[in-house]
Amino acid sequence: MAPKTIIAFDLYGTLLSTESIADELAKIYGQDQAKSLAALWRRYQLEYTWRINSMGEYKTFGEITRNALHHAVAEHGLTLAPENTDALMRSYDALHVFPEIPSALKLLEENGDSVEAYVFSNGTGEMVGNSIKTSPDLGPHSGRFKSLITVDDIKCFKPDRRSYNHLLEHVGKQEDKGDVWLVSANPFDIVGARAAGLKASFIDRSGKGWIDRLDEKRAPSVIASGVDEAIKLILNY
């Protein structure tokens, strides 16, 4: 029997839409503010992970997410009551999936004999588990993922090389890095994976192509318009 293709899927921004939190923000601040607040929240969430990596320190992704929310709110000149903070954090555990994800999950099921699928995330085990369990689209198919791998075990965030080494160790491919695929819509994640020796599929939902210029030698192995297309391209690679 041929070895299975190992695919690790990023969660936030790839399977789950961080922009969908705008619906909850709108209940507090109105539609006019919600979209820009959601985008700024996500921006500082990622920026905080990179900054704390550079500092050689660590806070959980939950802490990072909560602090980034307060930063985004303050930058808009707004305030946030403690009960609303808690409600928004609970909502972050119930983000919506992107439209093509049900089709992607169906492909994983149809190709279960040839694909070994994982979720690989910056989130804590509790956050990732809750996000998948509470998702009406992901929850019923959670068994399709062999396991949920998080960086919380090693106390550093992507794109630190240690995070990808942690993934490789978890799937037993430390010596065969090129056998592992990362699927992500986050350019920094793609570059980090490629620098660590993995193959990577970039999800280009905006249709702009690969425009990241940090390291042109670390471009994605394939570019797809959605996760479902990425799975097809990987299986035919």
Q: What is the architecture, at CATH level 2, of domain 19-92?
A: Orthogonal Bundle (1.10)
Secondary structure E strands in the chain: 5-9, 115-121, 145-150, 180-184, 199-203, 222-224
pLDDT > 90? residue 60: yes
In whole angstroms, what is the distance from residue 69 CA to residue 75 CA? 10
Percent of the chain having pLDDT more than 70?
A: 100
Q: How many CA atoms lie within 13 A of 156 on its CB side?
A: 15
Q: How confident is the model at residue 112 (pLDDT cuts 50, 70, 90)?
A: very high
Three-class DSSP category at 96: coil
Contact call for residues 150 and 194 (beta carbons, < 8 A): no
DSSP, res 126 = H
Residue ranges of the domains in the chain?
5-16+95-235, 19-92
- Indicate the CATH number for domain 5-16+95-235: 3.40.50.1000
Q: What is the mean pLDDT of residues 144-152?
A: 96
Which residue's entry shows tokens 């305030």? 79
How do residues 210-233 score in pLDDT, each as one tens digit?
999 999 899 999 999 999 999 999
- End-to-end Cα separation, the chain, in angstroms: 18
pLDDT > 90? residue 139: no
pTM above 0.85, yes or no: yes
Lowest mean pLDDT among 75-79, 91-95, 194-198: 91-95
Mention every residue, 6+ apart, whose C-beta is less than 8 A from residue 59: 48, 52, 67
pLDDT > 80? residue 235: yes
How do residues 158-203 score in pLDDT, each as one tens digit?
999 999 999 999 999 999 999 999 999 999 999 999 999 999 999 9
Mean pLDDT, the chain, as a whole number? 96
